[in-house]
Each structure stands twice: as structure tokens, then as C-alpha cells.
Amino acid sequence: MTGTTIAPAGPDHRAAFRPATFGDVLRSEWTKLRSVRSTFWALTVTVVLGIGLGAAISAATAHGYAKLSVSGKLSWDPTGISLAGIGIATLAIAVLGVLCISSEYSSGMIRTSLIAVPKRGRVLAAKSLVFAVVTFVVGEATSFAAFFAGQALISGHAPHAALSDPGVARAVAGAGLALTALAVLSVAAGTLLRHPAAAIAAMIAVLFILPGIAQALPDSWRNPVTEFWPTLAVGQLTTVHQSAHTLQPWPGFGVMCLFTAIVYAIAWTLLDRRDA
Amino acid sequence: MIEAHGLVKRYGSTTAVNDLSFSIRPGMVTGFLGPNGAGKTTTMRLILGLDVPTQGSVTVAGRSYRDLPAPLREVGALLDARALHGGRRAFDHLLCLARSNGIPRRRVDEVLHIAGLQGVARRRAKGLSLGMSQRLGIAAALLGDPAVLIFDEPVNGLDPDGIHWVRTLMRAQAAQGRTVLVSSHLMSEMALTADHLLVIGKGQLIADTSVDEFVRSSSRKSVHVRSPRAAELAARCRQAGATVRAGTGPDVIEITGMDSAEAGRLAAAHGIALAELTPIRASLEEAFMELTRDSVEYQAAGATR
């Protein structure tokens, strides 16, 4: 708040007012996010799948530990197993991120929003920031809960991990961070493509289909894709043991952030220039 | 005050708005008229910064819309009542908008009250009738107590009670010194609401005039006469330079190019008894049709004159 007020033009009885701030737009976007039911459901799915699926996979694989081969035991990754549910939960965050802007396009609300806040960059920035913070809080809570639940189910049947083990705290916290980057990418994709179905399809392609296709390619093609494809690279942040042809955790996260920044910049430019 | 200078908007090869200049003054209701596809909505979108003009500029309160420090405090607009998220409650919809411009929460309750929507404040937007959505859109426009109001077809979907409410509201807002711009294709509605008219057709300004002047300047003024000796009177009128058409019956004629006093004098001078003598003034509807006949974008087949 700058404390400046503006004397209103026109009818005398109108009170002086202050310029709208970015904080006002943030409060507006928070109100938008919390006042639709899809937010509640998508976040519930994130938490339930993230923790529940992780717990189920942890329990099942721990029981099979004794039957594993030597190499299987060597690559035993209790942290990764307990976080396995988060990978599926990303879809819920991607869909919600896409919807929080593209549903404004499909309903026409975007015009109402841009009349209220004609400085369009503010709308995108506030929307992304609010959704990123919500995703960060929910994502971190989910990944830590999934980790502790998973380790509790694994212990007694197989070696389990502790937060103090090398790389484990980074991997668990990294799962929340990776979700947060994905949240921003989804909002940018929704802004860029405007149609909910198109934007959700694009996110599914980026997250699941293109990496899947890469698996069918010859090694010389597959390796660089696994290494640098943003949504695969970011996975290194949540992994304790890096395998061959992968980036280190933070460079992997960096690739995802760079990709997100590029998509975001394009979305920002188009939002500003296109007729709404 | 809304001012446009040489406004042009092209979409590909279509010119929606072509060199439009006008100035919409405070303290009155300005009706924005034109047939479908004339460019009314496009012009409003240009005013509100939703579309960028191809050429020219438009300002509200002296600034381009995107430069207004708190837009909702200066301009309230209703473009499309259905342009909202169907899953959001009416109250929350207004709260989102209020928050974005730093408008206090209690103002949301006030505008809900003004629009008579207290009863449905907790209802989700998709559960509202078109009439209630329209009221919600008007409530949103009033949130910032703005000096400029812009309504695109605000009475669409409203019942007679609602139409009366909107009309009274617009007149009251204008009487308080605000600038009110309202588009419509219903001329009869404008006759009751507007003080001033801005008429466009095919994106071009056709008239910028007061409602009274608009009707008066229409060429279609006629006199309706019923007389047992109608044919004789018709001949006398033609001699005096007027145009006469046969009316609905053998004893009825329609005279143009002569006012009723003159027609009456002429009848009296020749001892012709009159059963009826009525000056017919073109209604706003007719005056409008006359004016925009050449610029109707979508003309029904066979509607040529």
C-alpha cells in the first residue's frame, strides 16, 4: 500500500480511493481458487494418492524384499518407493493448474477478470504465485507424510531410510518442489492454449506420453531425452540414487525451471497481446 | 467521459469498427444503437481494453483503460452476464472482483442488496436464471461506485419488473452525474431510457444526436386522414405538393410532406368533412430502421425496398 489516494472524477459524493496493488490481485486470485470445488477435489486426490498409493506400494514391495536378487537388493531405494504415489498425484496438480486459467477462458470469466485487472501480467503472476504456494504447502505435506508412512510400513521387512541419510531429505523435500514447478508450468500451459481439453492433453503428453515414446527409441536417442526432458530431469531431484544418463538433482530441477520459464514467458507475451 | 478518436478495429479482412470518433458525456444516458453486427460490442471491448485498436485511441476519464490505477473504481461494465465461473457462488464471484481493486467486503453485500440478490448470494452461478445473472453482472458493475457505467444489452433476459429496475437504475445513475453508456438493438427501450443516441452501422458512426432530434429529423412524418371525400382531398393535397398514399380503407389516406394543420386547413377551404386527422410521427424504431437500412449487415431476403 502506498497510502496515496485518488480523488474521484464525476459525482462529488464518491469517496477517494487508492490504486489497486499486486497484493489486491493476489487476494482476488486466492478467493477465486478457494471458491471453486475443483480445487478441493484436486488437492484431495493429490494428498490421498500421494500418501495412500505410496503406502500401498511401500507395504507390497517391502514384503517382497526377501525374494529380491542381489542386484535388486543393491538398488533397493526405500525413499523412492515411499514417494511413488506422488508421480501419479502430479496429474491432479497439472489438471488443476490448467483449469484455474483455462476455465476462465471457457466460461468467459477471463473478460470479467481482465476488465477488473487490465494489467494482464498481474493476473497471470498472481494466479501462478497463489497456485504455486498452495501446491508447495500441499506437496511438501504430502511428500513428508508419504515418506514417513512408507518407511513405517517398510521397517521390519526391509531396510528403510531416515531423513538424516545422505540425499533423503533433499529427495523428500524435492518432491514438493517438483510439484510446485509443475504447478507453474500448468498455469502457463493453460494460459497459452486457453482450451481446457487442449491444455490438459498437452500436459499429459509432456508428462507421460512423450517420455513413454522415448523408451521405445534406440539408446542414442533415448539417453539425451531421459537426461534433459524437463519432466524427467526434475525427477532426479526426488531420487536418492542417480542412475546412468541422468543429471544431478539440482541441475535436473534447473532444466525444469528453465523450461517452465520459457513457456511462462511465451504465455505472458501472448496474454498481453491477444484480444481477450 | 469516454472519448474515442479515429477508432479502427479489423479482424483479419473484416473491419468491425471503422474510424469511430465520439465523446460520451456525463450526466445523461447515452444509448448505443445499431443493428446486429454493427460493431457495438467491439467498440465496448475497445473502450475496456479487452481488444487493442488497429488504429486510433479511446480514453476513459482521460486515460487509456489499461492505465487506470483502479479500473473498477472508475468504470463499471457489464458485457456478458454469463461470463463467469458457473461453480462459484454469487457472493464469491463479487468478492473476487472486489478484492482485485481493493474494494471492501461490505460493498459486496451492498451491491447484492441493490440488485435484489441477497436471497441467492450463496447460490452457484450456474444455478441462476438469465435474469438473475444479468442482475449479478449489474451488481458487479456497481461494485466500485464508478463514475462511468457501460452496459451491453442489459435488459436481455429480464422480466418486465427487471427491465423497469434497470431503466430506473440507469436514469438514477445518470442523474447523479455519472456517464452511462448502454447498447441495445431495441429502439423502443432506448426511447424510454436514453437522452442521447450514438447510432452505428457497419462499424461507422451514423448519428450522434439527442433522442428528440433523432426522431424529429426522420423523414417519415405523415398525416393519417379519414374522410368520406378522401379521394378529392388526396387530389387537393397533391396539387399543394404533398405525397399521398392510399390508406387501409377506401376512405383513408396517408399524407407526407404536409403537416396536419395544413392538411386540415386545406380540407376546410374546400368544405371537406374529416372523420379523423392524426399526425403520425415516426417512432424511434422506424426512424432507426430508416437510418440504418443501408447498413444492415444481415438483411433478410426480400427485405429490400
Specify the pLDDT at position A253: 96
Which of A115, A127, A274 best probes binding to B when mutated, by most B CB atoms within 10 angstroms? Answer: A115
Please answer whether residues B191 and A23 qualify as being in contact, where contact means their C-beta atoms are separated by less than 8 angstroms: no
The shortest C-alpha distance from B299 to chain A (Å) reads 28
Distance from CA of A267 to the nearest CA of B (A): 17
Higher pLDDT, A130 or A4: A130
Residue B105 in contact with partner chain A when CB distance is under 8 A: no
Distance from CA of B266 to the nearest CA of A (A): 54
Q: What is the distance between the alpha carbons of residues A239 and A245, in angstroms, rounded to a whole number?
A: 14
In angstroms, the separation between the Cα of residue A251 and the nearest Cα of chain B is 37
User: How far apart, in whole angstroms, are the C-alpha atoms of residue B285 and residue B190?
Assistant: 9
* Chain B touched by A121 (CB under 8 Å): no
Q: CA-CA distances (angstroms) from residue B271 to B227, B261, B264, B265, B266?
A: 11, 15, 10, 10, 9
- The mean per-residue pLDDT over the stretch B105-113 comes to 97
What is the pLDDT confidence band of residue A55, given thresholds at 50, 70 and 90?
A: very high
Indicate yes or no: CB of A107 within 8 angstroms of CB of B85.
Answer: yes
Contacts of A15 in chain B (CB under 8 A): 145
Does the beta carbon of A17 lie under 8 angstroms from any beta carbon of chain B? yes
Pair B275, B228: CB distance under 8 Å: yes
Same fold, B2-216 and B221-281: no
In this predicted structure, the answer to whether residue B239 has a pLDDT above a threshold of 50 is yes
B110 at interface of A, judged by CB pairs closer than 8 A: no
- Chain B positions in Cβ-Cβ contact with residue A107 (cut-off 8 Å): 82-86
Q: Give the separation between CA A173 and CA A179, rounded to whole angstroms.
A: 10
| Yes or no, beta carbons of A24 and B101 under 8 Å apart | yes
Q: How confident is the prediction for chain B on average, in pLDDT?
A: 90
Delimit the domains of chain A by residue range: 22-65+72-205
Nearest CB among B70, B82, B177 relative to A10 is that of B177
Q: Is B97 on the interface with A (CB under 8 A)?
A: yes
Q: Is A99 on the interface with B (CB under 8 A)?
A: no
- Over the range B7-36, which residues count as b (16 or more CB within 10 Å of their CB) and which as e? bbbeeeeebbbbebebebebebbbbbbbbe
pLDDT of the residue at A197: 96
Domain assignments of chain B as residue spans, ordered by start: 2-216, 221-281
Enumerate the residues of chain B whose CB falls inside 8 A of the CB of residue A109: 83-85
B11 has which bridge partners? B14
Contact B179 A10 (CB under 8 A): yes
**Nearest residue to A159 (alpha-carbon basis) of A249, A50, A240, A47:** A240
Q: Are residues A20 and B176, on separate chains, in Cβ contact within 8 Å?
A: no
Q: How many CB pairs under 8 A join A and B?
A: 129
Please name the fold of domain B221-281: Alpha-Beta Plaits (3.30.70)
Chain segment B47-103, per-residue pLDDT in tens: 999 999 999 999 999 999 999 999 999 999 999 998 999 999 999 999 999 999 999
Looking at per-residue confidence, does A241 or B277 come out higher?
B277
Cell of B101: 481493486
pLDDT tier at B214, thresholds 50, 70, 90: confident
- In this structure, chain B runs to a length of 305
Mean pLDDT of chain A: 92
Asked whether the predicted pLDDT for residue A2 surpasses 60, the reply is no
pLDDT for the residue A113? 97
Comparing B128 with A9, the larger pLDDT belongs to: B128
With a CB cutoff of 8 Å and minimum separation 6, the contacts of B289 are none
Name the pLDDT band for A18 (thresholds 50, 70, 90): very high
Can you name the CATH fold of B2-216? Rossmann fold (3.40.50)
C-alpha grid cell for residue B95?
468478492
Question: If you average pLDDT over residues A54-82, what whole number do you get?
Answer: 92
Q: pLDDT tens digit string along A69-121?
A: 998 888 899 999 999 999 888 999 999 999 999 999 999 999 999 999 999 99
Alpha carbon distances (Å) from A63 to A57, A58, A68: 10, 9, 10
Which chain A residue is nearest to residue B52, measuring alpha carbons? Answer: A275
Rounded Cα–Cα distance for residues A125 and A147 (Å): 32
pLDDT at A24: 97
pLDDT digits 0-9 by tens, A147-183: 999 999 999 899 999 999 999 999 999 999 999 999 9
Judged by average pLDDT, the poorest of A58-72, A212-226, B177-191, B273-287 is: B273-287
The DSSP output letter for B104 is -
Whether residue A3 is predicted with pLDDT greater than 60 in this model: the reply is no
Name the pTM for this structure.
Answer: 0.86
pLDDT value of position B297: 55
Task: Please name the residue of chain B whose CA is at the shortest distance from the CA of residue A13.
Answer: B176
